[in-house]
Amino acid sequence: MTTTALKEPVRPTSPGAAREPRRRTGRIRRIGLPYLLLLPALLLELLVHLVPMVIGVVMSFKELTQFYIRDWGAAPWSGFGNYKVSVDFDAPVGKALLHSFSVTVGFTLLSVGLCWLIGTAAAICMQDTFRGRGLLRALFLVPYALPVYTAVITWVFMFQHDNGLVNHVLHDQLHLTGEPSFWLIGDNSFYALLTVSVWRGWPFAFLIVMAGLQNIPRELYEAAALDGAGMWQQVRRITLPSLRPVNQVLVLVLFLWTFNDFNTPYVLFGKSAPEAADLVSVHIYQASFVTWNFGTGSAMSVLLLLFLLAVTGVYLLVTSRGRRAADV
């Protein structure tokens, strides 16, 4: 390996024959050093990401129930059994997974859409200097900066049926509902989850779009204004096209984060989420940790990974092609 190259110069060499090998070791060293410096990071990456992933994939082919978790090696191989159970949509397990998956897709689309919309609108409004802009910008970023658990637990208190702030405002003060609603159980839980998710997610969109806006030359707006373009026209013809590369990454990242979000639903609803808000991450958690069937849980995780990989691939392909065409 590269370590041998390092030892080379220490070896005593006769002056005549030295020139050729030394140059070669020099080259090896030049080429090898960057890799050598990358090695710790690579190993860490392997340790933190790849090894657990591979173990997860291996687990998905095993019948890893409570009888075998103490000694994984003894767990019998089940081939594609776990996958078959997961995607058999006529049977209860597959049906529940499909339901959870569709809830997650709907939730993610709404959440990402709203996060992006609110974030972008706020960033555009904050673009012109006015008194108190710095303060507002800082304030907007607070939800993003707060620790997830603390923030979501506060929401749990606010959503409580008897003493929650939400019902106090909607029911007691504004009289919008006939009787206090339940937010943490039943069908409303979807909206509760969406609210918290958007509340947590939009500041990130705001931050990224704001950074993107700083790169758009002001002259463009001035020229457009001279040509008689209104505010809306300026946003549509200048701001949005200029933000395109930023948005491409932003939407993808928001999508992946929201789709995989575990903390928000787990803190809001606990181990068993209401059906209306049964996000796939918590669903898989329940399928493995709560029912102690880690094989099926792993199989579901691998399926989720494949789905997210496919979506990401198609998304990048489509958006990049579109951009390339636009650039020409």
Residue ranges in contact with another protein by CB under 8 A: 3, 6, 33, 36-37, 39-40, 43-44, 47, 51, 65-67, 69-72, 91-93, 96, 160-162, 182, 184-187, 270-272, 274-275, 286, 289-293
Distances 204 to 27, 127, 159 between C-alpha atoms, Å: 45, 16, 24
Q: Measured from the CB of residue 39, what is the shortest distance to another protein in angstroms?
A: 5
Q: Measured from the CB of residue 290, what is the shortest distance to another protein in angstroms?
A: 5
Minimum CB distance to another protein smaller for 7 or for 175? 7
Q: Measured from the CB of residue 182, what is the shortest distance to another protein in angstroms?
A: 6
Distances 7 to 36, 40, 321 between C-alpha atoms, Å: 14, 20, 49
Neighbours of 242 (CB within 10 A): 16
> Rg of the chain over CA atoms, in angstroms?
27
The SS3 assignment for 283 reads: helix
Minimum CB distance to another protein smaller for 153 or for 316? 153
Minimum CB distance to another protein smaller for 161 or for 168? 161
For 248, the token pair is 């491409």
Residues in a beta bridge with 77: 62
- With a CB cutoff of 8 Å and minimum separation 6, the contacts of 201 are 111, 112, 115, 254, 257, 258
Neighbours of 209 (CB within 10 A): 23
Instruction: Report which secondary-structure segment, H or E, holds 213.
Output: helix 189-213
- With a CB cutoff of 8 Å and minimum separation 6, the contacts of 99 are 275, 278
Q: Measured from the CB of residue 177, what is the shortest distance to another protein in angstroms?
A: 12
CA distance 122 to 133: 11
Q: What is the dihedral of CA 105, 106, 111, 116, to 10 degrees?
A: 80
Q: Measured from the CB of residue 2, what is the shortest distance to another protein in angstroms?
A: 8
Minimum CB distance to another protein smaller for 10 or for 328? 10
Q: Measured from the CB of residue 17, what is the shortest distance to another protein in angstroms?
A: 22
Minimum CB distance to another protein smaller for 25 or for 120? 25
CA distance 298 to 289: 11
Minimum CB distance to another protein smaller for 93 or for 284? 93
Minimum CB distance to another protein smaller for 93 or for 205? 93
For 4, the token pair is 């041998």
Q: Measured from the CB of residue 162, what is the shortest distance to another protein in angstroms?
A: 4
Minimum CB distance to another protein smaller for 167 or for 197? 167
Q: Measured from the CB of residue 58, what is the shortest distance to another protein in angstroms?
A: 14
- DSSP letter at 289 equals I
Give the torsion sign (CA, 71, 77, 78, 82): positive
